[in-house]
Amino acid sequence: MKWSLIQLQKYRGKKVPFEQEIDVAEYLKEHNHDVREASLVRVSGDITVRQDSVLINLVLDGTLTLPCARTFEDVLYPYHIESIETYVNKEEKVLDEMHHLMDGDKIDALPVIEELLLLEIPMQVYSDNIENALSEGNDWNVVTEEELEQQAIQAETKVDPRLAGLADFFDKKED
C-alpha cells in the first residue's frame, strides 16, 4: 500500500478512492500469538492531497481466527475499522499518533494498517458453542444465575444447629 507523492500531486484537492486486498496474516501471527489465522484485509477509502500533507481515510474489513477463552476452540472474529491518518513531510509536523512522516516522496500505509489491526485484537473472545465448555473441575463448577440465587436462599434459611437456641433469644420477653 504505497503511493508516490508525485503521482498523487495531480489529484491535489480531490478525493482519490482506492480499494485493495492485502495479506497481513504472517505479520499478525508473528506479533500476536493468539492469532491463529487472518483473512485478507479489504482496505478501502480515499486519499486527499493537500499542500503539505496527505489525508487518508481508511476502512479495514476482515476476520481473525482467535482461541475461545473457555474452550480454546477457533472463534471467527470479524472486524470493521475506520481511521483517518495524516501523512506529513516534516518531522516537526507530527503532532500525535494520527500523524505519520512520509518516507521521502512515498507514502506507505502498510505499517499503519498493521498497527490498527494489532490494536483491534481483543484480549478474550468466547465461542457461541457452549456445549464444549468445561462445566466443572477440581473444587469448582459453573452455575447459572438462577442456581446461584437458589443456593443463596438455601444458605439463608439453613441455621447452624449449635446456634439454633439463640434464634429465639430476642423473641423472649422478660417480665
Along the chain (175 residues), what's the average pLDDT of each consecutive run of 10 residues? 82 87 94 93 91 88 92 91 87 70 84 92 85 68 85 76 74 61
Looking at residue 99, its pLDDT comes to: 77
Supply the DSSP string of the chain, one letter for each residue: -EEEHHHHHTTTTSEEEEEEEE--HHHHHHH-TT--EEPPEEEEEEEEE-SSEEEEEEEEEEEEEEEBTTT--EEEEEEEEEEEEEEESSGGG--STTEEE-BTTEEE-HHHHHHHHHHH--S-B--S-GGGS--EETTEE---HHHHHHHHHHHHH---GGGGGGGGTTT----
The 10s digit of each residue's pLDDT in 18-31 is: 999 999 999 999 99
Looking at residue 142, its pLDDT comes to: 77
Looking at residue 164, its pLDDT comes to: 73
Domain spans of the chain?
2-120, 137-165
